[in-house]
Amino acid sequence: MSTTTERALLVGVCLVRRGGGRSVSGEFDPVESLDELQTLARSAGAEVVGRILQRRTAYDPATLVGAGKLEEIAREAEAKDADLVVFDHNLTPTQLRNIEAALARRVVDRTQLILDIFARRARTREGQLQVELAQLNYLLPRLTGRGVEMSRLGGGIGTRGPGETKLETDRRRIARRIRKIRAQLEAVRRSRLTQRKQRRGVPLPAITLVGYTNAGKSTLFNRLTGAEVYADDRLFATLDPTVRVVTLPSRRRVVLSDTVGFIRRLPTTLVEAFRATLEEIGEASLLLHVVDVSRPDAAEQAVQVLEVLAEIGAAAVPQILAFNKVDRLDGKVDVEALRARIGARLPGDKHGGKGLGAVAVSARTGEGLERLLKAIDERLPGEPLIRAVFWLPAGQGRPMHLLHEHGRVLHAELRGDECMVEAEAPESIVRQLAEYVVDWKPAAAEEPAELAGGREVAGIRAPSA
């Protein structure tokens, strides 16, 4: 594999109103967007040798930037000895073909660059399949005219037919591969569904880390769990989800998972390809939304994440905002002000984001982590604790294991071939062991619950007095 670093020239286009210089390209500053593209290019292993930002009143349908600007880009690429030109936009197949012909250099757009980074980062077989599916879906409509190896041979009598045959062969081969990958990912999706059903049998609340790429999710995950997930100051440093168990201050155990970072204008092909992974976010009991508060556009990045969550059907999952990297700030972060800025951008939010819990933390130094765990404990939907007396067969270890794993054993006494156990455990665990229950009461109650009359609580029919 070649170790030569590609020299990349970056190109951005900002739409402005006629007669004025105000940008109408959307909510994002075009310079910040180009900064992000530069970070993406470096994450892909390229050396950025120059940047060009053009302001136009409308995109050119044939070349995006217009023929005159294209000549300027060609001269700049020649002067900087750039062998790659990266556009901060999604180019149509026609635009891509025309630009490549005019520049005589390789051209990639924003989507293709992100896909390349994903291909570098994917480590598991599932991640590699997801990225390959996204790449093939991107490539399929762009086969025509993409370089010599995929171009038509037309140009003279007797040459057009073989070229069309090669093109159609490529299309059929890619279409078959797409169908095969989709079938494999559907099997992954069914497997994940089965795993989720099994987890519900012995429920541990699921907490999922989400956030803009490079916000510090993996570093925070490592701090909270003691894991060694790969973390780096690069975009999309972590692709494959990782799961660990964390114990909260209340002694409750929860499952914490790290996920792929989001980014503005996340390619739709990636959202579709990573559907099996992203579905885990919608199944979470709580989302830990990590925000890099050291960035001036922190609120805008947070809103981008919220929009992607809405796109994948996870907007209704409760969230806590973890304002990360406070160690990089000179002063104290105004949690309420930043939360209000993010909340004000939410569609239909009437409370300025007050429904979103927020904690200032530093994953690097550990500052604020105790407050964060306490906030998770308070926000996480609680399962009532039941104090119960169990008569367990001495030869069966599973019931005792469940009580030790998910509850608190207060007293155990062996009586013949049975073991009398008094324990506090979540309602779902007591329900699983209902056949062994002889007495119970709510764990918070000062007096025993009234059991007479066969009252039923939590699905457990209490014995009559």
Mean pLDDT of 166-177: 83
Query: Which is more confidently placed, 465 or 357?
Result: 357
**pLDDT of res. 153:** 42
Q: Residues 47-73: pLDDT tens digits?
A: 999 999 999 989 999 999 999 999 999
Q: How confident is the model at residue 313 (pLDDT cuts 50, 70, 90)?
A: confident
One-letter amino acid at 356 equals L
Angle between helices 125-139 and 275-282 (to 10 degrees): 120
Mean pLDDT of the chain: 77
CA-to-CA separations, 352 to 211, 214, 305, 335, 384, in angstroms, rounded = 20, 26, 17, 12, 31
Q: Residues 147-171: pLDDT tens digits?
A: 433 444 444 444 444 445 677 788 8
Share of the chain above pLDDT 90, in %: 20
**pLDDT of res. 27:** 52
Whether the model pTM is above 0.85:
no
Query: Which is more confidently placed, 225 or 159?
Result: 225
Structural domains present in the chain? 7-108 (3.40.50.11060), 204-379 (3.40.50.300), 385-461 (3.30.70)
Token pair of 244 as six digits: 């660990």
Q: Residues 74-122: pLDDT tens digits?
A: 999 999 999 999 999 989 889 999 999 999 999 999 988 888 887 777 7
Instruction: Please state the φ and ψ torsions of residue 61, each to the nearest 5 degrees.
Output: -65, -25
* Residue 311 confidence (pLDDT) above 70: yes
Query: DSSP label at 143?
Result: -
What is the maximal distance between C-alpha atoms in the chain?
99
Q: What whole-number distance in Å separates Cα of residue 243 and Cα of residue 383?
A: 22
Q: Which of 62, 60, 66 is closest to 74 using CA atoms?
A: 66
Handedness of CA 212, 217, 219, 220 (dihedral sign): positive
Q: Residues 187-205: pLDDT tens digits?
A: 877 876 776 666 555 567 8
Query: DSSP label at 326?
Result: G
Can you list the alpha helix ranges (DSSP code H) found in 283-397?
298-311, 335-344, 369-379
Q: How confident is the model at residue 20 (pLDDT cuts 50, 70, 90)?
A: low
**pLDDT of res. 245:** 83
**pLDDT of res. 147:** 42
**pLDDT of res. 50:** 94
* Residue 352 confidence (pLDDT) above 80: no
Instruction: Identify the three-state secondary structure at position 320.
Output: strand
Per-position DSSP letters for 180-245, written without gaps between them:
HHHHHHHHHHHHHHHHHHHHHHS---EEEEEEBTTSSHHHHHHHHH-------SSTT---S-EEEE
Q: What whole-number distance in Å separates Cα of residue 195 and Cα of residue 141?
A: 36
